[in-house]
Amino acid sequence: MIEVQSISKAFGDVKAVKDVSFIANNGKVTGLLGPNGAGKSTTLRILYGLLVQDAGSAQVDGIDIRSNRLHAQQKIGVLPDSHGLYIRLTAREHIHYFGRLHNMDENKLESRTNELLKILNMETIAERRVEGFSHGERMKVCLARSLIHDPPNILLDEPTNGLDVMTTRTVREMIAELKDRNIAVLFSSHLMHEVSRLCDHIVIISEGLVVASGTTDEIRAAAEEDNLEEAFVTLVERVAT
Amino acid sequence: MHPVTIVFGKEIRDATRDKRALLVAFGFPVLAPVLVYFMMTAIIELKMDAEKITIPIVGAQNAPAFIQWLEEQDVRLEEFSGDAEQAVRDKEQDLVVIIPGNYQRRLNELRTISIEIVSDGSRTASQPTVGRVHNLIRDYNREIASLRLIARGVSPEVMRVVISQTVDVATKQQRTATALNFIPLYIIMAAFVSGMGLAVDSTAGERERKTLESLIINPVERYQIITGKWLAATIFASLGMTLTLLLCIAAMSQVSLDEIGLKFHVTTPQIFLMLIATLPLAFLVTSMQLLLGIFAKSFKDAQSYIGLLTLLPVLSLVYTMFSPIRTEEWMFAIPMLGQHLLLVDVLGAKDVPLIGYFYSAISCLVLGMALVLVTARLFQRESILSN
């Protein structure tokens, strides 16, 4: 479970996050929705332990991220928005590197790696160096290495961005499977249909503030619009004026 | 596994697969000895050439004994005919020696013979050869004069009232060591060149290729990540230094130094001493490179900063060459200068005080660790992800 209470973060004069609160529960998919520059990535980076909020609190499974960063980081799996890989390492080596940094036992590491390679349908590319991998293949490597330690919370920054239909489907299936295993899934996106299809709970952020949150029905009701996309635009514009 | 070990292992594996970077890292240690070999061979040949001169001579048949003596002095003679002055003026000859026709007669009459050396005083290039011929004639004169005195029952020493004699305190090995100033330079440069690729790639490169964010989301302390990278770069730098040292020594033993009166001999214990003397430098050099790699805004930036850094050892060498200094113990504590002095002394078979090793090793290790701490602090900043 991820709990965020009134966090704010400024870079110099720019207030990237002004006041954001939400809860991502276990067994639920929570979507962080907002236009570009709304503060989604900053909020997520605070949750990863890469940035420290100026005010408010952020907790993972009851562990305060600011005061107990390493412990909190053990409880999360992250697919960050940069999908850089080490071009001279193989897919399997990438997964192993991250598993070991999570202090995994070697036997467990091996069996979990094989399991993930199978789920993500990447057994044929496991021993290949990632140089020359397609965008979808790279994404799968990133996904696998973020799930290797079987974390109880998953944070995904724009996970289906630029993926082909087949890979998008794999990612969706993956998210559904994580949800079934009672894992808290938090993902950010600016794609409306993606969010409405997958999320149990939606948090709409604009200009560093939460403008609405709830189920798709609740969001539509708040904006007095029938279409979710229209609702999103209305809510975002309401803040801007 | 300890996080430092994990990061170390990954960096080593990653770097050994980078063929181009490996070529740069270990191309230098292989090329440097080749350079040493050819430089030394060239120096020796130059010296030998200067000693083996050819003298164009006119009237050789007038003084057969003198000619024979000259040939015994390793001088080649060639018969010259024509206008000697014109030939020298036209730069066809450096000089021409003319033995007068009355040589034998004046010799028998015990009168002074004058042998002409036709040369051009404005041509500096021919001066050493001209000087050499003057010396040869002077030597021959002394030899004949001595024989004449002895024949009359007079000691030749009456002719020599005062003479000067040089006492060279340098051992043959030491003279070689000063001639070999560039071996320490190459070994020190190897510390910079061999670890550089890994140091830049694992800092600025990691940032440029956007792998840094995922890496630091892992539950590992930042200083542990940096330490792993530091040790990996240090292994590369140390390997480069060791390779340079061994290959340079191998190259030197192939050069026939005895031909110019120098001696080069290195024993196995000396090789170990040299490694002890220099390897601590690897820790310091790579820590500087990591710091610059983290500090730099981009990969290119990092490469240019670190390129400038490599000039440091060259400067330290130039300093020691142009201002000969008396080695004081504290000097061993100055990184690079210390290593340079230690190497010159060990190569010159001079005893180095133990405190010298201690100072140079400790100063490098302590400074290196301090820089790694600074690097870890920089690495901790939030702005590390934004360029």
**A166 in contact with B, Cβ within 8 Å:** no
| Distance separating alpha carbons of residues B16 and B285, to the nearest angstrom | 20
pLDDT at A141 over 70: yes
pLDDT score, position A36 = 83
DSSP state of B120: -
pLDDT at A151 over 90: yes
Q: Do B213 and A84 touch (CB under 8 A)?
A: yes
Using the structure block, give the residue that is written with the tokens 């053990």: A74
| Distance separating alpha carbons of residues B278 and B234, to the nearest angstrom | 12
ipTM of the complex: 0.90
| Distance separating alpha carbons of residues A169 and B240, to the nearest angstrom | 50
**pLDDT averaged over every residue in chain A:** 90
**A221 in contact with B, Cβ within 8 Å:** no
Element (H, E) at B58: strand B54-58
Q: Do A145 and B210 touch (CB under 8 A)?
A: no
Tokens of B164: 């000067």
Distances (CA, A) of B161 to B139, B144, B149, B153, B357: 17, 18, 15, 18, 50
**A101 in contact with B, Cβ within 8 Å:** yes
**Chain A residues in contact with B218 (beta carbon < 8 A):** 73, 98, 101-102
pLDDT score, position B348 = 73
Q: Beta strands B95-98 and A184-189: pairing type?
A: unpaired
Mutate to test the interface with B, among A42, A97, A131, A149 (most CBs of B within 10 A): A97
**A96 in contact with B, Cβ within 8 Å:** no
Contact indicator for A31, A198 with CB cutoff of 8 Å: yes
pLDDT score, position A238 = 80
Low-confidence ranges of chain B (pLDDT < 70): 49-51, 168-179, 260-262, 316-317, 320-325, 386-387
Q: How far is A51 from chain B (nearest CA, A)?
A: 6
Tell me the residue ranges of DSSP E strands in chain A. Answer: 2-11, 14-24, 29-33, 55-60, 63-64, 76-79, 153-157, 184-189, 201-206, 209-214
pLDDT at A73 over 60: yes
Element (H, E) at B77: strand B76-79
Q: Which residue from B359, B354, B314 is spatially nearest to B338, judged by alpha carbons?
A: B359
Q: Which residue from A64, A8, A80 is spatially nearest to A39, judged by alpha carbons?
A: A8
pLDDT score, position B321 = 65
Contact indicator for B286, B194 with CB cutoff of 8 Å: no
Rg (CA), chain B: 31
Q: Do B10 and A145 touch (CB under 8 A)?
A: no
pLDDT score, position B261 = 67
pLDDT score, position B169 = 65
Residue type, B303: Q
Q: Any idea how long chain A is?
A: 241
| Distance separating alpha carbons of residues B279 and B343, to the nearest angstrom | 11
Q: Do A86 and B211 touch (CB under 8 A)?
A: yes
Tally Cβ neighbours within 10 Å of residue B102.
13
Strand partners, A90: A129
Q: What is the pLDDT of residues A87-131, one digit of tens each?
A: 999 999 999 999 999 999 999 999 999 999 998 889 999 999 999
**B301 in contact with A, Cβ within 8 Å:** no
Q: Do A98 and B218 touch (CB under 8 A)?
A: yes
**Chain A residues in contact with B210 (beta carbon < 8 A):** 82-84
| Distance separating alpha carbons of residues A47 and B202, to the nearest angstrom | 25
| Non-local CB neighbours of B37 within 8 Å, separated by 6+ positions | B251, B252, B254, B255
Residue type, A36: N
Contact indicator for A121, A170 with CB cutoff of 8 Å: yes
Using the structure block, give the residue that is written with the tokens 């069996």: A111
| Distance separating alpha carbons of residues A57 and A5, to the nearest angstrom | 5
Q: Do B216 and A51 touch (CB under 8 A)?
A: no
pLDDT score, position A51 = 92
Q: Do B214 and A142 touch (CB under 8 A)?
A: yes
Q: How far is A121 from chain B (nearest CA, A)?
A: 22
**B12 in contact with A, Cβ within 8 Å:** no
pLDDT score, position A228 = 78
pLDDT score, position B17 = 94
pLDDT score, position B325 = 65
Residue A56: φ, ψ to 5°: 85, 180
Between A50, A89, A93, which is nearest B216 by CB?
A50
Q: What stretch(es) of chain B map to CATH 3.40.190? A: 52-159
Q: How far is B231 from chain A (nearest CA, A)?
A: 17
Contact indicator for B148, B110 with CB cutoff of 8 Å: yes
Residue type, A210: V
pLDDT score, position A24 = 93
Q: Which residue has the higher pLDDT, A228 or A22?
A: A22
- Provide the 3-class DSSP secondary structure of residue B98: strand
- Provide the 3-class DSSP secondary structure of residue B324: coil
| Non-local CB neighbours of B306 within 8 Å, separated by 6+ positions | B192, B196, B199, B200, B289, B292, B293
Among A6-20, A69-83, B120-134, B192-206, where is mean pLDDT lowest? B120-134
| Size of the A and B interface in Cβ pairs below 8 Å | 73
pLDDT score, position B257 = 72
Please identify, in words, the CATH class of the domain defined by B52-159.
alpha beta
Nearest CA in chain B to A106: B1
pLDDT score, position B264 = 74
**A168 in contact with B, Cβ within 8 Å:** no
Count helices and strands in chain A by DSSP H and E runs: 9, 10
Contact indicator for A181, A77 with CB cutoff of 8 Å: no
Using the structure block, give the residue that is written with the tokens 């998953």: A154
pLDDT score, position A203 = 92
**B349 in contact with A, Cβ within 8 Å:** no
**Chain B residues in contact with A101 (beta carbon < 8 A):** 3, 6-7, 215, 218-220
Q: Which residue has the higher pLDDT, B319 or A47?
A: A47
pLDDT score, position B172 = 59
Mutate to test the interface with B, among A53, A60, A88, A109 (most CBs of B within 10 A): A88
| Distance separating alpha carbons of residues B23 and B21, to the nearest angstrom | 5
| Distance separating alpha carbons of residues A155 and B266, to the nearest angstrom | 62
Between A49, A88, A129, which is nearest B217 by CB?
A49
